[in-house]
A and B are shown apart, each in its own frame.
Chain A
Amino acid sequence: MPDNQSTSTVAVVDVYSVNDTDDKVTLTLNMSDGDSSVTNINLLPGEPGIVGSLTRLLGTNKGLKGQTLTVTTLVIELSGNDDTSMTIVINGGKEKYSHKSEKSVIGQGDSVLYTADIAFI
């Protein structure tokens, strides 16, 4: 955590196995209750700054192979419980992927930058 203790980061780096079909792959981000979040997704360049939890179609298995999904989310703690989280769920590939990242902060108004780099292999 930086010196001012009000910002922190959580990084997820992983891989997701896709196949050679045209089946669709979807991404779901579930953010912590009562907090405010804004998200950028590199595979959705036309939708900068998505507010809150989301579900989006990323593409087909075949089309995503070899690409990297980068999610950048800024969460502001507003609920007063000092806990933030981001759950990533990817469906449609070889298996369902789910990963929950959590970070506690010192107080309301503190921010957490969640980043996720997921390579489709």
Chain B
Amino acid sequence: MKKSVRIAAVFLLIGSAALGQSPGSTDTTITLDLLRAPSSPAVNLLGIAPSDIEKPSDLSAFRLSLNQATNNFTQLPKSYAVEFNPWLLFSDSNRTIDRLRKNDFVNNFKQSFTLSAGIRNLDAGEEDSLSPAKTKVAFGFKFSIARGTLVDDKLLDTIIGMQKLALKEIQVGIDSLISSDPAYKSAVAKFHSFHDAGLNDSAEFYQKAAASRHEVLNLQILDLNQTLPLLKSKAAGFQMRRTGFKADVAGGLALDFLEERFSDSRVAKAGAWATAGYEGRTGWAFLALGRYLFQPDKIFADKSGTVSSANIHTLDGGARLIYSAPQSRFSLSSELIYRSVLNKSAVPSSWRFTVNADYDIGQNRKLTFAFGRDFDGTVSRTGNLIAALNLLVGFGNSKKLQ
């Protein structure tokens, strides 16, 4: 608690820097989340709705999806977008919990890497001046470098340990029942004798006998097992939440085919996104975002929206710091956003910084503090230092104020 008070005091001192500035408020419609990487970069650059993305889970589904989109491989689709993880599509599953818990680069990359691709053929009149071609193709990728560690990592060790114990007990039960089950032993003996004699129906006979054994005996063994109920109670509380350092990268490229020929293409749009952050277990979280765009739909730094984005390269970024622990009276959120155009001086770079902090002093009273600098350089607060600290008082019984 003392630590929270000290933190609050630091922000009060920061607030004193706002003395003498004019009152106002920052534009809260612009947030750091605007800079986040799209879920599917290629599709985002093409302007296809995320709900229209095909996400095949295996090769058969992929083939069927392509077949339908191309009218049995006879024509280019009018609008088609697909997103898949190559390791999951072309090889074995890599997402069992023992692999998901690992946080090394190879596992993170294989499990999170997604490729996206799309094609869009526009009708007459749908073209825009920046991207006049009727046929547009886009490619994109996305993957995680680091994903943090499982909060319930130790619980998972306990679950796997109990699982091994349960399987050991079950195996003893199965082996015991098999050795004392004359019907099963007889079936196996007959299977081998039939097989040795070259009889064609030996396999079918074995299947029937062994299937019957499984149906009856497995259920008896599971019913008698004492470890499974305990395992169930432990596993029911497991959560996949991760904390620690996390980092993601995404990119995409959209091409225009001007004369609808593959030999005549040009880059219509491009983008790259980087996200990194740290989420602690004590309530602290930090997030930093960076975004590069070529010929964006809208220039983030151009508030008026009057500058053409033809051949424009933009670089935007930001950071966010949050403290919100469940048992703490103090909470804090601070956000910095920077936006710029790399190759056009007509649009100046600008930045915004905001701080919101509050301290619950009990009895339905909350001390709040807000301070910010907007993109145009205006420093915002609600009065002098004393007035900048708002006191919220609630009526009725004590309850947590939002």
Residues of chain A touching chain B, judged by Cβ–Cβ distance below 8 Å, are 2-4, 6-9, 11, 13-15, 28, 30-40, 48-49, 51-53, 55, 66, 68, 72-74, 76-80, 87, 107-111, 113, 115, 117, 119, 121
Kindly identify which residue among A34, A110, A121 contacts B95, using a CB–CB cutoff of 8 Å: A34
1/0 contact trace for B231-249 toward A, CB 8 Å? 1111111101000000000
- List, in ascending order, chain B residues with CB within 8 A of A55's CB: 92
Flag whether B324 is at the interface (Cβ < 8 A): no
1/0 contact trace for B203-234 toward A, CB 8 Å? 10011001100110011001101001101111
Flag whether B113 is at the interface (Cβ < 8 A): no
Flag whether B391 is at the interface (Cβ < 8 A): no
Q: Check if B174 sits within 8 Å of A72, measured CB to CB.
A: yes
1/0 contact trace for B91-106 toward A, CB 8 Å? 0111111111000000
Given contacts A36-B163, A109-B231, A117-B210, A53 and B238 within 8 Å (CB-CB): no
- List, in ascending order, chain B residues with CB within 8 A of A110's CB: 232
Q: Check if B236 sits within 8 Å of A109, measured CB to CB.
A: yes
Q: Check if B219 sits within 8 Å of A9, measured CB to CB.
A: yes
Q: Closest chain A residue to B194 by CB distance?
A: A121
Q: Is the interface of B mostly helix, strand, loop or mixed?
A: helix
Interface residues of B in 70-109 (CB under 8 A from A): 92-100
- List, in ascending order, chain B residues with CB within 8 A of A2's CB: 219, 222-223
Q: Check if A36 sits within 8 Å of B96, measured CB to CB.
A: yes
- List, in ascending order, chain B residues with CB within 8 A of A31's CB: 93, 96
- List, in ascending order, chain B residues with CB within 8 A of A11's CB: 210-211, 214-215, 218
- List, in ascending order, chain A residues with CB within 8 A of B240's CB: 34, 78-80
Given contacts A72-B167, A109-B234, A30 and B93 within 8 Å (CB-CB): yes
A-B contact pairs, 13 of them (CB 8 A): A9-B214, A11-B214, A31-B96, A32-B93, A33-B96, A34-B97, A36-B163, A66-B196, A68-B188, A72-B167, A76-B235, A110-B232, A119-B206
If A53-B92, A53-B96, A119-B191 are given as contacts, then 17 extra A-B residue pairs at C-beta distance below 8 Å, sorted by A number, are A3-B223, A7-B225, A9-B222, A13-B207, A32-B93, A33-B95, A34-B96, A34-B97, A35-B96, A36-B163, A39-B167, A74-B170, A76-B235, A78-B159, A108-B238, A110-B232, A119-B206
Given contacts A38-B164, A78-B238, A119 and B203 within 8 Å (CB-CB): yes
Interface residues of B in 189-209 (CB under 8 A from A): 191-192, 195-196, 202-203, 206-207
Flag whether B160 is at the interface (Cβ < 8 A): yes
Residues of chain B touching chain A, judged by Cβ–Cβ distance below 8 Å, are 92-100, 156, 159-160, 163-164, 166-168, 170-171, 174, 188, 191-192, 195-196, 202-203, 206-207, 210-211, 214-215, 218-219, 222-223, 225, 228-229, 231-238, 240
- List, in ascending order, chain B residues with CB within 8 A of A34's CB: 95-97, 100, 240
Q: Check if B218 sits within 8 Å of A115, measured CB to CB.
A: yes
Q: How far is the CA of A74 from the CA of B210 in the complex (A)?
A: 19
